[in-house]
Structure formats: C-alpha cells, structure tokens
Amino acid sequence: MVNEIPKQSGTAFKLKKGEKLRVIDPLGQQVSDLVLFNAQDIREKISSGKTLDFEETIFITKGHYLWSNRSNKMMEITEDTNGRNDFLLAPCSPETFSIMYGHKGYHPSCFENLYTHLAPFKIQPDDIPTAFNIFMNVQVASNGQLSVDPPTSKAGDYIEFIALMDVIVGLTACSAEDSNGGSFKPIQYEIRATH
C-alpha cells in the first residue's frame, strides 16, 4: 500500500528488521527528510558523522549503509533511481527561515514535522539529529561553499531501504522553498516485508 505525506508535513512509524521502506517522489523535485532511532533504545540514532566516516563519501546512495551514533548499521540503501541525496545539512527549522531567509512569522518546517510526529515515541526536539535528506541536491564547490539546488528527481523516482534493526522512522515532505525549487509537493512511501 502506498501512503502519502501531504506537502509540508510529516509522519513517523516503526519498521521491523528486514522490512523494506520505499520513499517515492510522485511529482518530481521534492525532498524528504528521514531520521532513524533504534526502536528498543531511542538513544541510538542515525548519525551523519558516522555514516560519512564509514562510507567515505558525501554522496550516500545504493549500496551504502546508514550508520548509528553507536557505529551500528541501521539501514542499507537497496535502490536509488535518482542517486542524489544529502547528509550534510540539518532539517529545515523555524530558524532556517528566520535567520537564513529573513522570513517573518510562522513557517512549516521538517524539524517541527519530525518532532511532532516522533513525540508519541518519547522523542523530543533536542533528540532530532541531522536528517538523511532524500532527493536533496546540495552542491559542494571546490572552495567548500555549499549551495542548495533543485532536486534532480523526476516523477516516480524512488529510494529503497532495508531495515537492519527494528527502527522508528521519521519522514517528511520538505517545507523549504530552497530544497524543492520553490514548489511544495507530497512524498509517498511504501512498507514491504521481505520474503
């Protein structure tokens, strides 16, 4: 069954070891932030620093693992039809919009959408780590400068993960104009047991 995350919102759910998660960009050029927690002990969670270290690349895609702060493999990426994701930048937050873009007033954000949906699992805002930013197209210039370009994902592109431990997943349809070329779109996901 394909589930839909409406634009600028999020969800959270459990995934058992061995289950597969497919995250789909139904319309193209949309970003989805993913965070992971060990379902048995939420103090173990996805770590950008550990993942970049063990995988020895900033471009995490098919064949790579998502590692935890305890140096365990949480998920493997088994498919990635787009092939470009980001694991450098924090989820967009109210401060992203107020400090970086001078936005006044309320703005939805992945950070809020993550902690709101993860609250039933006793996960608090301070616990939200740097997310794995699916489909996010961050370019690194030779002088180190970072720029956020529109995603290269086309309608129907997807990435698939297999859980290597029981995990709690937080997942969004990104709220940032910058990440998706100024358009807000839904994200779809599908959970499948492996046989």
d(CA 97, CA 8): 14
Q: Residue 53, Cβ neighbours under 10 Å: how many?
A: 11
**Stretch binding a second copy (CB under 8 A), from 7-15, 122-130, 150-158, 180-188:** 122-130
Look at residue 115 and give its three-state secondary structure.
helix
**Is there binding between residue 164 and a second copy (CB under 8 A)?**
no
In the list 9, 29, 30, 93, the residue contacting a second copy (rule: CB under 8 A) is: 93
**Is there binding between residue 85 and a second copy (CB under 8 A)?**
no
Tokens of 103: 């936005």
**Is there binding between residue 99 and a second copy (CB under 8 A)?**
yes
**Is there binding between residue 50 and a second copy (CB under 8 A)?**
yes
CB 82 within 8 A of CB 150: no
How would you classify the pairing of strands 157-163 and 73-80? antiparallel
Size of the site for a second copy (CB under 8 A): 37
In the list 6, 17, 40, 57, the residue contacting a second copy (rule: CB under 8 A) is: 57
**Is there binding between residue 120 and a second copy (CB under 8 A)?**
no
**Is there binding between residue 78 and a second copy (CB under 8 A)?**
no
**Stretch binding a second copy (CB under 8 A), from 20-28, 54-62, 114-122, 179-187:** 54-62
Total number of residues shown for the chain = 195
Count CA atoms closer than 13 A to 159's CA, side-chain side: 29
**Is there binding between residue 147 and a second copy (CB under 8 A)?**
yes
Tokens of 7: 């634009």
**Which residue has tokens 């597969």?**
20
Task: Specify the amino acid at residue 105.
Answer: G
**Stretch binding a second copy (CB under 8 A), from 2-10, 125-133, 159-167, 184-192:** 125-133
Look at residue 54 and give its three-state secondary structure.
helix
Site residues (CB under 8 A) for a second copy?
A: 43-44, 47-50, 52-54, 56-59, 69-71, 88-91, 93, 95-96, 99-100, 126, 128-131, 140, 142-147
